[in-house]
């Protein structure tokens, strides 16, 4: 064998060794920044409380149990429905208590407590974000069976509403109705330590057959020579712009996110649309121009509900994932996954469906995480996915991604004091508030860059704390680094501690 061949073989061996080593790491690796959330639906007692009329202690116990389950799986945020039908999971002078608490709209919990304050406190105790989910326009879920309080706003202003397919809705075309929603959001943002305001896909109601939305009177008054479709979109644009301005004026650090139906428009009607054949779309049927809201920076994140499987003949998950990644306009994109179809549809018997979806979304630098509908289904460990998330995809911690347009300030570096063997003391002397420390390990075979690092631990302490390097889940010989974490999840420069 020639000297060249020997040298060549040595290089190949070194490369193979590196790839194998990195391959082992990759199996346990996960993004350092990733939104991992579950929707907790309260309408019709879908997730919490599990039924109407539970006592305060029972409600609290159920919520804590659900939070603990989600935390054990690896979630770092919850999206909790606090206003499902112009009612409230908190004391409000504007809207009555939700019937999904006591069983009767307007009846306070007994013994009395503030469910929203309780939920926010318990969520933050677990270092998870709390996104308050409001349905903007739905006012009565079922005209035949829903409990309606005498104090409901519809009794004072019946002209603000219309009936459609057995439900009652605020009329989005009326400035008075939009201003009332603004009052509700203002009240919540001022009183509660939330991380975000979140709205779902229900703007104008989903079409039912050939039923017409009864908004001709409002259109005659406020149509301003627009087509009815453009006028309806303009109404949705107005409320989003108004709420965005309102939220940021009260708390510039609070985020505002929307979870739309998964298809903006089909390519067959708009070359900018996705290569899908959806029977309805946000733009044409729900009158929600999500792309405009992203372009204008009115929302901070979007969670399209990609509830179709990979290979779906009309709305393929992979096709939509790529389309949304091409249309983020600098805002954060999280993917909405469904758990509802497990056990109901043949395609969702495939135990690899969700893992494949997660693997694929992680291929995109512009996708920042996932949200799951809905939290209560995790109680049944659908398709064994709790185990997959817990032991693989979410085994390592992740920080909710920072938003540079809200906060880009990096905190000061931690102060490191080496103690006895394999122990270091961490402290912080900077002026900017922090939430704790991030601990990373890096293979000695790669560059000391964040791209090649694995975050193996988050220490949620701001006071001086001792870190035992022997307790870390790192490979022998790996380099260990520590950085401070700001309240906005910005990382400081890191310092090596071994």
Domain assignment present for residue 210? The answer is: yes
Take residue 291 and report the two structure tokens written for it: 């792309």
pLDDT score of 8: 40
Query: How much helix, strand and coil, in percent to the nearest 5, is found in the chain?
Result: 35, 20, 45
Same domain, 298 and 426: no
Predicted pLDDT of residue 378: 98
Assigned domain for 23 exists: no
Boundary (domain end) residue, out of 338, 369, 393? 393
Give the domain CATH number at 417.
2.60.40.10
pLDDT bracket for residue 476 (50, 70, 90): confident
Q: What is the DSSP letter of 274?
A: B
- Give the percent of the chain with pLDDT over 90: 92
| Total domain count, the chain | 2
Q: What is the mean pLDDT of residues 286-305?
A: 98
pLDDT of 352 reads 97
Both 388 and 415 in one domain: the answer is no
CA dist., res. 334 & res. 209, Å (int): 31
Summarize the confidence of residues 276-301 as an average pLDDT. 98
318 and 383 belong to one structural domain: yes
Q: pLDDT tens across 408-418, in order?
A: 999 999 999 99
- Does any domain span residue 18? no
Does the residue 29 lie in any domain? no
Average pLDDT of span 377-404? 98
Residue numbers of the domain that contains 246: 35-393
Same domain membership, residue 272 and residue 128: yes
**Domain match, 470 and 343 both:** no
The chain-wide mean pLDDT, for the chain, equals: 93
pLDDT of res. 16: 38
What's this model's pTM, rounded to 2 decimal places? 0.94
CATH of residue 360's domain is: 3.20.20.80
Within this chain, do residues 426 and 385 fall inside the same structural domain, yes or no? no
260 and 301 both lie in a single domain: yes
pLDDT the model gives residue 7: 37
* Statement: residue 17 has pLDDT above 50: no
Return the structure tokens found at 285. Answer: 């049927």
Residues 122 and 197 in one domain: yes
What is the pLDDT, as a whole number, of residue 475?
82
104 & 240 share domain: yes
Q: What is the mean pLDDT of residues 21-34?
A: 58
Q: What is the pLDDT of residue 22?
A: 37
What is the structure's pLDDT at 29? 55
In a domain, 19, yes or no: no
**Tokens 């401070």 sit on residue:** 484
What does DSSP assign to residue 213? P
Question: Mean of the pLDDT values across residues 319-343?
Answer: 97
Last residue of a domain, one of 359, 393, 427: 393
> Within a domain: residue 10?
no
pLDDT at 24 over 70: no
Q: What is the pLDDT of residues 426-457, one digit of tens each?
A: 999 999 999 999 999 999 999 999 999 999 99
Contact call for residues 378 and 386 (beta carbons, < 8 A): yes
Picking from 369, 393, 417, the residue at the C-terminal end of a domain is 393
Which pLDDT tens digit goes with each residue over 199-256? 999 999 999 999 999 999 999 999 999 999 999 999 999 999 999 999 999 999 999 9
Same domain, 250 and 118: yes
Between CA 48 and CA 62 the distance in angstroms is: 7
């Amino acid at each position: 064998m020639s000297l060249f061949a020997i040298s060549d073989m040595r290089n190949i061996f070194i490369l193979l060794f590196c790839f194998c080593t990195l391959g082992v790491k990759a199996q346990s690796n996960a993004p350092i920044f990733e939104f991992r959330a579950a929707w907790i639906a309260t309408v019709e007692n879908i997730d919490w409380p599990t039924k109407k009329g539970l006592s305060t202690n029972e409600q609290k116990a159920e919520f804590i149990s659900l939070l603990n389950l989600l935390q054990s799986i690896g979630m770092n945020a919850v999206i909790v429905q606090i206003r499902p039908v112009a009612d409230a999971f908190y004391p409000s002078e504007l809207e009555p208590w939700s019937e999904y608490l006591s069983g009767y709209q307007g009846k306070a919990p007994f013994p009395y407590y503030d469910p929203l304050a309780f939920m926010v406190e318990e969520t933050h105790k677990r270092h998870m974000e709390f996104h308050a989910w409001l349905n903007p326009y739905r006012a009565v879920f079922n005209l035949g069976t829903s409990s309606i309080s005498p104090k409901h706003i519809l009794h004072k202003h019946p002209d603000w509403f219309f009936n459609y397919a057995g439900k009652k809705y605020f009329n989005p075309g009326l400035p008075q109705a939009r201003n009332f929603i603004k009052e509700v959001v203002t009240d919540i943002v001022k009183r509660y330590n939330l991380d975000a305001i979140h709205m779902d896909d229900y703007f104008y109601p989903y079409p039912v057959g050939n039923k017409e939305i009864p908004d001709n009177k409002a259109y005659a008054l406020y149509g301003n020579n627009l087509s009815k479709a453009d006028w309806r979109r303009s109404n949705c644009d107005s409320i989003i712009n108004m709420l965005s301005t309102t939220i940021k004026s009260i708390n510039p650090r609070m985020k505002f996110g929307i979870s739309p139906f998964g298809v903006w428009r089909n390519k067959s009607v708009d070359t900018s649309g996705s290569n899908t054949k959806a029977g309805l779309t946000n733009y044409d049927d729900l009158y929600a121009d999500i792309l405009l809201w992203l372009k204008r920076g009115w929302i901070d994140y979007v969670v399209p509900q990609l509830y179709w499987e990979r290979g779906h003949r009309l709305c393929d998950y992979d096709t939509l994932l790529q389309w949304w990644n091409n249309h983020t306009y600098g805002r954060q994109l999280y993917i909405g996954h469904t758990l509802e179809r497990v056990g109901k549809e043949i395609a969702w018997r495939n135990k690899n469906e969700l893992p494949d979806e997660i693997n694929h979304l992680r291929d995109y630098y512009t996708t920042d995480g996932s949200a799951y509908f809905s939290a209560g289904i995790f109680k049944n460990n659908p398709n064994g996915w709790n185990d997959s998330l817990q032991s693989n995809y979410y085994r390592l911690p992740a920080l909710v991604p920072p938003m540079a347009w809200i906060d880009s300030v990096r905190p000061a570096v931690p102060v490191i004091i080496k103690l006895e063997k394999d122990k270091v003391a961490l402290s912080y002397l900077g002026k900017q508030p922090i939430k704790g420390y991030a601990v990373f390990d890096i293979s000695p075979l790669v560059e000391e860059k964040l791209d090649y690092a694995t975050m193996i631990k988050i220490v949620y302490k701001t006071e001086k704390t001792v870190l035992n390097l022997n307790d870390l889940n790192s490979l022998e010989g790996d380099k260990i680094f520590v950085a401070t974490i700001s309240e906005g999840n910005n990382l400081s420069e890191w310092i090596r501690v071994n």
